[in-house]
A = this chain, B = another copy of it.
Amino acid sequence: MSDSADPLVLFMPSGRRGRFPRGTPVIEAARSLGVYVESVCGGRGICGRCQVEVAEGRFAKHGITSSGDHLSPWSAKEARYADKRGLKPGRRLSCSTTVQGDLVVDLPQDMAINAAVVRKAVDTRQFPRDPAVRLLYVEVSEPDMHAPLGDLDRLFQALERDWKLARPTIEPHLLPHIQPVLRQGGWSVTAAIAHDRDDEAPRLVALYPGLKNEAYGIAVDIGSTTIALHLSSLLSGQTIASTGAPNPQIRFGEDLMSRVSYVMMNPDGRPQMTAAVRGAIQALAEKVCAEANVSPADIIDCVFVGNPVMHHLFLGIDPTELGQAPFALALSGALSLPASALDLTLNPGARAYLLPCIAGHVGADAAAATLSEGPHRQDETMLLVDVGTNAEIVLGSSKRLVAASSPTGPAFEGAEISCGQRAAPGAIERVRIDPATLEPRFKIIGTELWSDEPGFVEASAITGVTGICGSGIIEVVAEMFLAGVITEDGVIDGRLAERSPRIVPQGRTFAYVLHETPERRLTILQTDVRAIQLAKAALYAGIKLLLGKLGNPTIDRIALAGAFGSFIEPRYAMVLGLVPDCALEKCGSVGNAAGAGARMALLNRDYRREIEDVVTRIEKIETALEPDFQGHFVAAMAFPNKLDSYPELVKVQPLPNRDSAGLIKAAPDGGENGESAAGDAGSPRRRGGRAGRR
């Protein structure tokens, strides 16, 4: 019980506050307010995970005068810990420190306790944490002939006593190790307990002698094109390293439907593709571990997201049903299973969790992006778009959410474009066309120079200029439109051939020469423009359909997710009419939102329940069944002239960086910190520079 005479304690950065009787341990005060403070040792002062800082001074806004002497004096446990492991000045162990007066307590975010160092700040967002797998240190009573309870049973007793843990089940592979580990640790052990859902029994998944003070998880976004993997500490929540690689299933088919066809045509097609993706994930996990100096055996939880076909193939499920009406998912709900059942060699007890799929064409990746961007957490109407072969669209707010998939085809990814190619070194990714001369300039993946800058020829010599990738094709079509090369109907204007040698006849239509060398000529054909028109009309029609379902509300924010969102400048999306009108500053890339959502589910099981619940509430619209879709589609074929609305279109925005492989490089971003951005019913965050390309 607390009353108004009790000291006031404010926790930052969450801002949660409460009054607590003098003598309350700081960690207890935090937890009673729902502020997550890690602890492995359960208050014995040995793990150091529960460190806090006390901000000194007057905090007028909060009416608090906080100072160091409002905490209990330095304790023996803290002295011992500082002596053994070191403790930064100002840091206290919240388990061994009690409230003695008003306090402002900071939870530091740099809690790298162990050897593994954060190499790349891939995503510096901090989430409230409550991981599905926790490390719990206990001291187990020794065997007693008068009460001959088994060693495991006494371990469970200790877990119940110290951690209030209901009797767990044990993973069978641990059975031979219980006795040796207990004796090796001198009856002190750290139990890794997986407890995803409260309606399931906790599981003992690993057991370590003595204090084990670090464990890791991976969050994996299985894209059709690229697999992105993030390694996070389950204790600090920090992302330690990230990596990515092309999805090796590409050799069975570039796009989803060709992979489904491959399965239908080849009896061993499904097993081949399942083995390919699992092998690639295993290799990526080992690679990221090697980079971070972490043992794969310390990876003890995994979260996977992907579109329905990727999701099914990863699980070893034949995706054929997804290729034909009624597009039946084998399972749509979230799934929890042992990582070993997915042929992953991590910790033998490692768990795996897959987010739910929304519908037959709207996958766990869209669910993860929804979790990350949180339209359901805000009152504003948000449009969340993730474009691959299909566009996955989620629209709405806390009141109501609708979702659909629109058959954009692969044009936005550079496929079905005459000189299109995947995003790789040498591919044109940015284009500008001078409206006066119709002369282009461009950038290719692999150099920072524009094609009209000194040194470009030398810099591009390594790769050559090989083709045009998805973002490049959108930019060139948009620039052609802005320069008047194509009309609102999408026709390349042959009359301009008189003004510029860039416009050339091509059969009965015309084409635009983007780049020409003695070896190679890259041209944009009339059919390329048509392909983009069809794709953008499909996307727009899908959005329009969902808007109609919600009574055509004003869109307050547009979040462009994934590779599409990361590399397409929002203004071009507006120019071409990919997305409806919205204040330009309210339309932005949210990077690899699916990967961010996967990471959230890795670090906090509450997010799993949240997205499981949200997915059941999303209204799923099947575009193929909607009579209005075709009308929207036809109406959306033209390019709208919006130059007057967007005078800022001439401004060139900074680009995200790519590494030599064409993947986005991690660019530390110090500008965003603070707990619980995801918990805010707030704005989508622009994290284009940190997105992994899928």
> How far, in Å, is A78 (CB) from chain B's closest CB?
36
Q: Is A620 an interface residue (CB 8 A)?
A: yes
Binds B, one of A104-112, A138-146, A432-440, A450-458: A138-146
Known: A166-B199, A326-B145, A327-B145. A338 touches B172 (CB 8 A): yes
Cβ contact within 8 Å between B328 and A179: yes
Q: Is A175 an interface residue (CB 8 A)?
A: yes
Q: Is A449 an interface residue (CB 8 A)?
A: no
Is chain A's binding surface mostly helix, strand, loop or mixed? Answer: loop
State in angstroms the CA–CA spacing of A146 and B151 once bound together.
Answer: 53
Contacts of A175 in B (CB 8 A): 315-317, 330-331
Contacts of A326 in B (CB 8 A): 142-145, 148
In A266-319, the 8 Å CB interface with B consists of 315-318
> How far, in Å, is A413 (CB) from chain B's closest CB?
24
Cβ contact within 8 Å between A145 and B325: yes
Cβ contact within 8 Å between A148 and B620: yes
State in angstroms the CA–CA spacing of A325 and B148 once bound together.
Answer: 11
In A305-355, the 8 Å CB interface with B consists of 315-318, 321, 325-333, 335-338, 341-342
Contacts of A329 in B (CB 8 A): 148-151
State in angstroms the CA–CA spacing of A149 and B326 once bound together.
Answer: 11
In A135-190, the 8 Å CB interface with B consists of 142-153, 156, 166-167, 169-170, 172-173, 175-176, 178-180
Contacts of A173 in B (CB 8 A): 341
> How far, in Å, is A169 (CB) from chain B's closest CB?
7
Known: A179-B317, A316-B176. A333 touches B153 (CB 8 A): yes
> Residue A145 contacts which of B144, B178, B318, B360 (CB distance < 8 angstroms)?
B360
Q: Is A197 an interface residue (CB 8 A)?
A: yes
Q: Which residue of B lies closest to A360 (CB)?
A: B148
Q: Which residue of B lies closest to A152 (CB)?
A: B331
State in angstroms the CA–CA spacing of A201 and B175 once bound together.
Answer: 22
Q: Is A359 an interface residue (CB 8 A)?
A: yes
Cβ contact within 8 Å between A146 and B625: yes
State in angstroms the CA–CA spacing of A178 and B318 once bound together.
Answer: 10
Cβ contact within 8 Å between A321 and B620: no
State in angstroms the CA–CA spacing of A302 and B169 once bound together.
Answer: 18
Cβ contact within 8 Å between B317 and A169: no
Q: Which of A142, A172, A178, A321 gathers most chain B CB within 10 Å?
A: A172
Known: A201-B197, A336-B169, A341-B172. A330 touches B148 (CB 8 A): no
Cβ contact within 8 Å between B359 and A328: no
Q: Is A556 an interface residue (CB 8 A)?
A: no
Contacts of A333 in B (CB 8 A): 150, 152-153, 156, 167
Q: Which residue of B lies closest to A342 (CB)?
A: B172
State in angstroms the CA–CA spacing of A456 and B35 once bound together.
Answer: 86
State in angstroms the CA–CA spacing of A145 and B626 once bound together.
Answer: 11
State in angstroms the CA–CA spacing of A538 and B179 once bound together.
Answer: 30
Q: Is A255 an interface residue (CB 8 A)?
A: no
> Residue A622 contacts which of B146, B337, B342 (CB distance < 8 angstroms)?
B146
Q: Is A33 an interface residue (CB 8 A)?
A: no
Q: Is A240 an interface residue (CB 8 A)?
A: no
Q: Is A519 an interface residue (CB 8 A)?
A: no
Known: A170-B335, A201-B199, A335-B170. A179 touches B330 (CB 8 A): yes
Contacts of A150 in B (CB 8 A): 328-333, 357
Contacts of A325 in B (CB 8 A): 145
Q: Which residue of B lies closest to A270 (CB)?
A: B176
State in angstroms the CA–CA spacing of A200 and B178 once bound together.
Answer: 23
Known: A176-B316, A317-B175. A143 touches B328 (CB 8 A): yes
In A618-648, the 8 Å CB interface with B consists of 620, 622, 624-625
Contacts of A143 in B (CB 8 A): 321, 326-328
Cβ contact within 8 Å between B179 and A318: yes
State in angstroms the CA–CA spacing of A359 and B336 once bound together.
Answer: 36
Contacts of A156 in B (CB 8 A): 333
Cβ contact within 8 Å between B622 and A321: no
State in angstroms the CA–CA spacing of A626 and B359 once bound together.
Answer: 68
Known: A146-B622, A200-B201, A317-B179. A328 touches B172 (CB 8 A): no
Cβ contact within 8 Å between A337 and B172: yes
Cβ contact within 8 Å between B200 and A328: no
State in angstroms the CA–CA spacing of A179 and B330 once bound together.
Answer: 6
Known: A169-B336, A175-B317. A151 touches B201 (CB 8 A): no
Further pairs besides A145-B625, A146-B622, A199-B201: 13, Cβ < 8 Å: A145-B325, A146-B620, A148-B327, A148-B329, A148-B358, A150-B330, A151-B329, A152-B330, A153-B332, A167-B333, A169-B200, A178-B331, A179-B330
The list of the 3 closest CB pairs from A to B, nearest first, reads: A150-B332, A172-B341, A143-B328
The 11 sampled A-B contact pairs (Cβ below 8 Å) are A143-B328, A145-B327, A146-B622, A150-B328, A150-B329, A150-B330, A150-B331, A150-B357, A152-B333, A175-B330, A180-B318
Point out residues on A near B: beta carbons under 8 Å: 142-153, 156, 166-167, 169-170, 172-173, 175-176, 178-180, 197, 199-201, 315-318, 321, 325-333, 335-338, 341-342, 357-360, 620, 622, 624-625
